[in-house]
Amino acid sequence: MSVSLPVPARSRVDTASLLVAGILWGTGGIAGSVLGSAAGLSSPAVAACRLLLGGVFTVAALAATRRLRGMPRTRPALRRVVVTGGLLALFQACYFAAVSLTSVSLATMATIGSVPVFVTAATAVGQRRLPDAGTTLCTAGAVAGLVLLTWSPEDTSDRWLFGAGLAAALVAGAGFATLTLVTRSRVPGLDPVRTTAFGCLLGGVLLAPAMVVSSPELPVPWQAWAAAAYLGAVPTALAYAAYFRGLSTARPALAALAALLEPLTATVLSVLLLGDRLGTAGWCGAALLLSAVAVGYLRR
């Protein structure tokens, strides 16, 4: 027996799902930082753990709900999974590299804040026309926010190290932007959850050699096991499940809240739990960046 929710109630549930996804994503950077420190893992190894475990948990959920049946075996489906896995591997590896070189808050804001910039640029090139004034203004605001963020660390002794971290965050943002553009079109029989499940598994396999090279500390402490389980289950499998659940009926403007809550959550948690600090310019940059992203999404 199934129970159908009224449309307003279902809409509220979908909105709540998007908000939950954004908050859970924002905890991923801290969980990855704890895993890397506790187990002595490199950034690619942490990314491999996240993708492998997230893929395993998501596939298990699909199997439990009997949604693995009818998985398409066509070339377009295989191509989509391969591209998704490669881009997820690039995105996660570069993101955690940025976290290790800078901070959770800066890496998250720079990565998420750069995504609309790359998407706007790629769309303009593809359509062979300049974006409208509103889009240009939002993109300029995001770039200005990123510039202010680069000036924020008042105690950064190694500017080259900081620059490398910022570059890694921008590469991660470019990878996620590419993933966003590539997955706009649907492949028959391959829904977003299936794409995420097998894309995560493939991305984890691609990064798996990093786990061997990284030579984790033995015996692995319980903190590392707990962080790995949390990283794979909550900000990966559960967050994506909630996000795709919310996308089923929610308006695009509401879906944007997930992207905005991620850097906000990461910043608050990193300041409260890890002692990260942003200078005055950094906080101004964060506010400008998030405002630009919010306005850009809400215009759509």
Tens-place pLDDT, residues 11-40: 667 777 878 888 898 899 889 989 988 888
Using an 8 Å Cβ cutoff, are 269 and 30 in contact?
A: yes
Mean pLDDT of 55-61: 91
The model's confidence at residue 4, banded by pLDDT at 50, 70 and 90, is very low
Average pLDDT of the chain is: 81
Indicate whether 247 belongs to any domain.
yes
Look at residue 121 in the predicted model and tell me its pLDDT: 83
Please count the CA atoms within 13 angstroms of the CA of 129 that sit on its side-chain side: 5
Write out pLDDT tens, residues 132-148: 777 778 778 877 877 77
Distances (CA, A) of 261 to 160, 207, 242: 29, 28, 14
Each residue of 36-58: b (16+ CB within 10 Å) or e? bebbbbbbbbbbbbbbbbbbbbb
The model's confidence at residue 8, banded by pLDDT at 50, 70 and 90, is low
The model's confidence at residue 1, banded by pLDDT at 50, 70 and 90, is very low
Q: Which amino acid is at 106?
A: L
d(CA 251, CA 273): 34
Indicate whether 149 belongs to any domain.
yes
Lowest-pLDDT range of 7-16, 213-222, 251-260 = 251-260
Write out pLDDT tens, residues 152-201: 555 555 778 888 999 999 999 999 889 878 877 778 888 878 888 999 99
Tokens of 75: 């070339």
Look at residue 120 in the predicted model and tell me its pLDDT: 79
Write out pLDDT tens, residues 77-87: 999 999 999 99
Number of independent structural domains in the chain? 1
Indicate whether 2 belongs to any domain.
no
Look at residue 195 in the predicted model and tell me its pLDDT: 85
Look at residue 2 in the predicted model and tell me its pLDDT: 40
Indicate whether 291 belongs to any domain.
yes
Indicate whether 123 belongs to any domain.
yes
Indicate whether 164 belongs to any domain.
yes
DSSP string, the chain: ---PPPHHHHHHHHHHHHHHHHHHHHTHHHHHHHHHHHHT--HHHHHHHHHHHHHHHHHHHHHHTT-STT---SHHHHHHHHHHHHHHHHHHHHHHHHHHHS-HHHHHHHHHHHHHHHHHHHHHHHHTSPPPHHHHHHHHHHHHHHHHHHT--TT---HHHHHHHHHHHHHHHHHHHHHHHHTTSPBTTB-HHHHHHHHHHHHHHHHHHHHHHH---SSPPHHHHHHHHHHHIIIIIIHHHHHHHHHTT--HHHHHHHHHHHHHHHHHHIIIII-----HHHHHHHHHHHHHHHHHHHT-
Q: Which domain range does residue 42 map to?
A: 7-298
Lowest-pLDDT range of 108-117, 173-182, 219-228 = 108-117
Indicate whether 1 belongs to any domain.
no
% of the chain residues with pLDDT over 90: 23
The model's confidence at residue 115, banded by pLDDT at 50, 70 and 90, is confident
**Is 75 or 69 the better-scoring residue by pLDDT?**
75
